Amino acid sequence: MTSPLQESLLLPAPPPPISWWPPAPGWLLLAALLVSLLVLVPLLLVLNRKRQRRRLKAQRIIWEVPDSLTDQDWLAALNTQLKRHLKSRGNATATRLYGQAWVDYLCQHYPRPRNDLLAPLGSSLYQAQLTLNPQQRRALQRELLRWIRYNHV
């Protein structure tokens, strides 16, 4: 079946073996992505842990105020703790605010503020006879915790 003419043909030379280097561009991109993940993930974990510690510390200042205090002393202690914490964070201008200006400062620094819940920190603090029921105290604490959570204090 084979003719002498076909037998006299030379077969083409086989191609050279495929080298493993340089890799295809997709492998280079994958390697760059993996290296960046190995660098960024630990960094993001450390930053997240620091932010959580700072937030827990700020939330703790709200819960450290004892409930056994009178209403006026309780509000004064909350004000003092908040202002002390803001001053330690470098916001000294907020520590000079009082009354409605203090409530306005708190309300302008996060969306949908509940001015009615924060109002006791402003005007009620300076009243001679102040009465807050336990629901009002808890609502004020929740609103301050929401403020802390939003402001990353």
pLDDT digits (tens, 9 = 90+) for 47-89: 999 989 988 888 888 888 998 888 888 998 999 899 888 888 8
First-to-last C-alpha distance (Å) of the chain: 90
- Judge whether 87 and 74 are in contact, CB under 8 Å: no
pLDDT digits (tens, 9 = 90+) for 88-102: 888 888 888 888 898
CA distance 83 to 144: 12
- Judge whether 79 and 87 are in contact, CB under 8 Å: no
The model's pTM: 0.68
